[in-house]
Structures are given as structure tokens and as C-alpha cells.
Amino acid sequence: MPDTMRIFAGECTTTFEGTRDATQRGSVVVVVKPDKTVLVHDADGYQPVAWITRPDAVTVETAGEGFGVTARAGEQTLRVVSHDTAGRADYPVSEAGVPVGECPDCGGALVRTRGDVACLGCTARYGLPAGASVLEDACGGCGLPLVRVERGDAFEVCVDYACDPLDEAVRERFDRAWSCPDCGDDLRIVRGRGRLLAGCDAYPDCETAFSIPAGVVAGECPCGLPAFETAAGRRCLDGTCERRTDDR
């Protein structure tokens, strides 16, 4: 369900104490966001006249038609007290993002925002792998969008990891494709420490492991490991390798 944004409007005295002390009076709009951020806007420009971002605590007091909002963050305090109230209301809000499709569960809009694909109509949320791009095509199994992810090769998988795991696609393509530079055993495609790794099959006797970068294999590094073409340039699978990967 969407979060709630609280809106208060009226002639108010706004007091800020902390890094700068200031007291102002005027007809303003006070916005209390779901993350507790408090913004006080007057008639001029886009910047609030006072604000506290993600404070430790927010208290809202109402008495009759009047209201008071207090936000505290460390030694900073923002206090807004109404003298004449023009209105107050609560409104549903959500993250705003780039539309990428329709939720097959509730029919709501799917948007890409802050590294996720989220539904505006329900609580569905899908994390995106680093460097992923969302495609226009939908998954044939569940109807969610497909994503294109580069991990040694370009893979098109469902945004829902449970439906079409990226790990399985990379494992099918690259498991045992490379050799450990320390002991010669095969490198296996595994997930560890929250990352997709090429780790030595001799583990725990050999603990060699490399995080697979966001890029495609483009030849071989002089050290014998694969070279990757990434957004930041050409690099070895071993991120600490000092050999030039463009040597022939």
C-alpha cells in the first residue's frame, strides 16, 4: 500500500534551532513525508524556508483547527505552530520512477526507481542487479518485465529472481570455464557475500575467488584469466591484476 504524506497549511510561526537559529512568520505549507522529512514552503521559489531531512523524531499535535509540527535531529529542532489554519490532509504517495510495464498481480503500474522495479498498486518489489537494463519484453512465465544483465555474457532474465535466476544462467554458461590461477582447479560460479563469484572448486583448501564484473568476456588477460569489457573499460576478472588486459 502507498505511504502517507501529511500536508498542513496556514499562517504559522516557524522556528529553527541548531546550525542556524531563525524565526519566521507567514502563510506556509508544511509537508511531512513518510521518511519523517519536514519541509516548510512559502510563496517564493522551490526551496523550503525551513526543513529537516529524515529527523530522529517528528511530533504532530492538533487542537481544534490548529496544528503544531516538531521535528528533532540531534541538536537541531524545527517547530511550526499555526495561528490560522487553511487546511490539513493526508494523501497517499509512492516513489516515482520510469514506467516499465504492468504488474501481473494487481494491474498496477511498474516503475524503475532507486535500483528496483516496484509496483505502484501493491507491495511487489524486485531488486535489479548492478548495471541491469529493463526491457520492453515480458517474461513468458509470469508476465513481469525481462532485464538485460551482463555477467561475462549478456543474459535476458526475468526481473523476479525466483522465476528466472540470473545465477543459473551465468552458471550454465561459465561454470568450470576458467581455471584457478593459484592451484589450477576449476573456477565454479557461486554466490557469496551477496555477490556472484567465480570461486575455486578446491575451497576451503584454496580460497581464491573473484567477483564477476558487470561486463562481457572479451578475450584473455595476459595472466590467463578472462578479460571483461565493462562500462569503465577493459579489465581482468581479477580486479587486482596489474597486467594490461589489452596486450596481445
Per residue in 98-152, pLDDT (tens digit) is: 999 999 999 999 999 988 999 998 889 999 998 999 999 999 999 999 999 999 9
- In percent, the amount of the chain with pLDDT more than 90 equals 87
Are residues 84 and 22 part of one domain?
yes
Per residue in 69-81, pLDDT (tens digit) is: 999 999 999 999 9
Q: Which domain holds residue 106?
A: 98-164
* Mean pLDDT value across residues 43-50: 95
Q: What is the pLDDT of residue 2?
A: 66
Are residues 84 and 17 part of one domain?
yes
Are residues 89 and 10 part of one domain?
yes
Cβ–Cβ under 8 Å, residues 71 and 61: no
Q: In this model, does residue 248 exceed pLDDT 50?
A: no
Q: What is the pLDDT of residue 247?
A: 47
- Domain count within the chain: 3
Q: With helix as H, strand as E and coil as C, how does 65-94 read?
A: CEEEEEEEECCEEEEEEEEEEEEEEEEEEC
Are residues 132 and 64 part of one domain?
no
